[in-house]
Structure 1
Amino acid sequence: MVPEKSQGLARAGRIVLFCGAGAVCLLALVALHGILDPHPAAAPQAAPAPGPSASAYPDDAARAVAVRAVRAYLTWDEKKPAERARELAGLLATGVDPQLGWDGRGAQTAGAVVPGAVTAGTGGRARVRVEAEVMTGAGPSRWLALDVPVLVGGGGRLVVSGAPALLGVPDGAAAAPEPTPRPADLAFSAQTRAAVADFFRAWATGGGPQVTAPGTVLPALPDGIELRTVQVWEAAPGTGADRSGVARVVWAVGGGEITQAYRVTLTRVESARAGRWQVSGITGDDLT
């Protein structure tokens, strides 16, 4: 009896002998490989899709779910304990206890909740820094900081993967930058001061479009704001039909006064009779 493998080699030899053109030989070689190796290696499996990288993490969605979770997490009432768990349940990853460590006693309410930085990890995980105001009914409110663990779950949905961790709130303010000297065109400032003051006065009373450059659209200020004075108008040095400067303005609002600074852009508008400077843009500016 001829061994099975020898029989296979003999058959392979006959196939090769009858090879003709290149295409037929290729088929013979494929057949030969199948005879000599009847157990081919399995096809490589695709690697599992990784979670989003740090640069592609859905930061906005992570902040949104973290804010909702912190508001529910820091609000509880021992008389209605099920409400907190119900609010949290829809935000948590499968298998996470909706009590999130609360012992079921006491009462407090979360007020303002402010999201901060998102630090992405691996496997779709991240930490979201959140600051929240908490009120207990006894004494003033206080601010807490927390790191909230989030996870990109099935279908890309963001969920909270565990209990947030309490952290300290920084109590020191960063030093303000040194004031930068701002050169001013005093002659042009004096020439255009009335136009700037007229704009702010009209802006506060809903008449802004009457004193702005053609094509300029500025939303009106809300009711209840009155111009007290334009304390300072300093135009920056420059030339041409577009100039800019800083205006320091005092508003009367809410029974008091508040001083604010604006960066104002002026555009020269020419007509058949004369030319004039009108406001064509306005943004906030610092007071330094």
Structure 2
Amino acid sequence: MARRSTVRDPRITDDPELSAYPGTPQDPEFDGAPARGRGAPTRGRWSGGGGRWLIWAGRAVLWALIVVIVVNGVRAPFERLTQQNTPSGAPQVSPDAEFPIGKATSFASQFAAVYLNFDAVRLQEREARLAPYLPDGAEPQFGWDGLGRMSAGAVQPYSSEIVDRQNAVVTLAFQSEDRRQLLSVPVFYDVEAERFVVSGRPAVLPAPSSANLPAVPAGERDPAAETELRTPLADFFKAYAAGNNVSLQRYAAAGVTLEGFGGAFTFVNLKDLVVPSGAGTTREVTATVVWGVPARTTTSLDSTTNADPGEASGKLEQAYRLTVVKQGDKWFVKDIRGAKRSVG
């Protein structure tokens, strides 16, 4: 058996770059080279193939982080918006939404009309009328000792305070002789039975005094227009009081239908007419009218009339705001309504 020469071929080196067989199957870096056997030269450095996997892995992680940041940046405002619009957990219902304050105010108003009117000679009548509003065991007169008298009217809602879903305090305004006052009424609501009851003693309170009305400077007036309009407007108010639709339409602008009082008042005079300075065929004017108020008619047992209902026995001043238009050489009324606040 022949022995292998131990003399190393100087053409073969450990460095792959100096291989004597570059690009051949004998080249250790050839992709299809078989595993090195005994005596095969070894590579002297790392080829770098594993480094490319690390680079791709790093890029994938980086892109994943970018996607997460972008998605969170878009999603966060949307989630905050939806969380604000969507109630969390059980819906919170305020007492205001559950307590029927409108019905409670109606109940308290009826109670006040009875409670604020009493007379010593009508004890039993007041007691019977109060009973439907009071809780069981309450005093029949609900705090009144049966002496003296009081009368009140013009009971109107003023304010309300909802304490919880079953309790509220309703405040009402009323007029007693020459005094305007308030009445505070505590009310209890039975949710299951849907019923109300006065739950405590009411309280009479003084009503706020009237507000101070600041003076408003009067604007410039148009004397010529006031003189021109006074007669046609006086004729208009006469027809307006009488309520004769045929004659009233003579003073109405084209396409406008007016309705009058139908004899409820009589025209006395046009006390004042204010036409602001300006120009044009459409003007807005303020008129102060004096109406005649018919006397009250009383009928005796023999059915005789003591006064003529068509005879004016009183006077009442009222202010109106009118829109008038000039068509040709005549003025016509386009609209009539209540006047704004007075000047001065």
| TM-score between both structures, scaled by the size of structure 2 | 0.55
Superposed CA offset, 1:211-241 (max 9, x none):
2224434442253522222122222244555
Report the AA paired with residue 316 of structure 2.
Answer: I
Q: Say whether residues 1:84 and 2:126 are aligned partners.
A: yes
Letter in 1 for 2:129: E
Matched, 1:282 2:336: yes
Q: Secondary structure at the match of 1:197?
A: helix
Contact 2:158 2:173 in 1 (8 A): no
Distance 2:154 2:120 in 1: 22
Task: Compute the displacement of 1:72 (Å).
Answer: 1.3
CA 1:245/1:141 → structure 2, altered by over 3 Å: closer, same or farther?
Answer: closer
Greater relative contact order (Cα 8 A, min sep 6): structure 1 or 2?
1
In the alignment, which of 228, 236, 245 is matched to residue 191 of structure 1? 228
Between structures 1 and 2, the one with greater strand share: 1
Letter in structure 2 aligned against 1:188: A
* Change in CA separation of 1:215 and 1:129 when aligned onto 2, cut-off 3 Å: farther
Indicate whether 1:225 and 2:265 are aligned.
yes
Of 305, 319, 325, 1:261 maps to 319
Determine helix, strand or coil for the equivalent of 1:99: coil
What does residue 106 of structure 1 align with?
Answer: 147
Q: Secondary structure at the match of 1:90?
A: helix
The residue that corresponds to 1:118 in the other structure is 159
Tell me the distance in 1 between the aligned counterparts of 2:138 and 2:332.
62
1:19-43 deviation per Cα after TM superposition (whole angstroms, max 9, x unaligned): xxxxxxxxxxxxxxxxxxxxxxxxx
- Paired residue type of 2:204: L
In terms of Rg, which structure is larger? 2
Same amino acid, percent of matched pairs? 27
Tell me, yes or no, if the aligned pair for 1:204 and 1:227 is still in contact at 8 Å.
Answer: yes
Q: 1:73 aligns with which of 89, 92, 115?
A: 115
State how far apart, in whole Å, the 2-side matches of 1:133 and 1:174 are.
18
Alpha-carbon separation, structure 1, partners of 2:125 and 2:254: 56
CA distance 1:60–1:276, shift in 2 (3 Å): farther
Give the C-alpha shift of residue 180 in structure 1.
2.7
Mapped partners of 2:237, 2:225: distance in 1? 18
1:252 to 283, 292, 299: 292
1:32 aligned partner: none
SS at match of 2:256: coil
Alignment match of 1:243 (pick from 283, 289, 295): 283
Moved more, 149-158 or 63-72: 149-158
CA distance in 2, matches of 1:47, 1:87: 42
Q: Deviations over 1:154-208 (max 9, x none)?
A: 37666543331122345x5432221331222333323322221111111111133
Deviation at 1:69, TM superposition (A): 0.8
* CA apart distance, 1:70: 0.7
Give the letter for the 1:181 counterpart.
Answer: A
RMSD over aligned Cα, in angstroms?
3.6
CA distance in 1, matches of 2:122, 2:269: 53
CA distance in 2, matches of 1:156, 1:279: 53
Partner of 1:213: 253
Tell me: CA distance 1:164–1:209, structure 2 relative to 1, closer, same or farther (3 Å).
farther
Give the conservation status (yes or no) of the 8 Å contact 1:249–1:260.
Answer: yes
- Checking the alignment, whether the CA contact within 8 Å between 1:63 and 1:115 is kept in structure 2 is no
Distance 1:182 1:96 in 2: 65
Gap runs ≥5 in structure 1: 1-44, 135-139
Do the aligned partners of 1:70 and 1:113 also contact (CA within 8 Å) in 2? no
Q: Please give the per-residue CA displacement for 1:119-160, whole angstroms capped at 9, x wherever unaligned.
A: 3233144433324345xxxxx786653112235543766654
Q: 1:108 to 1:47 in 2, by over 3 A?
A: farther
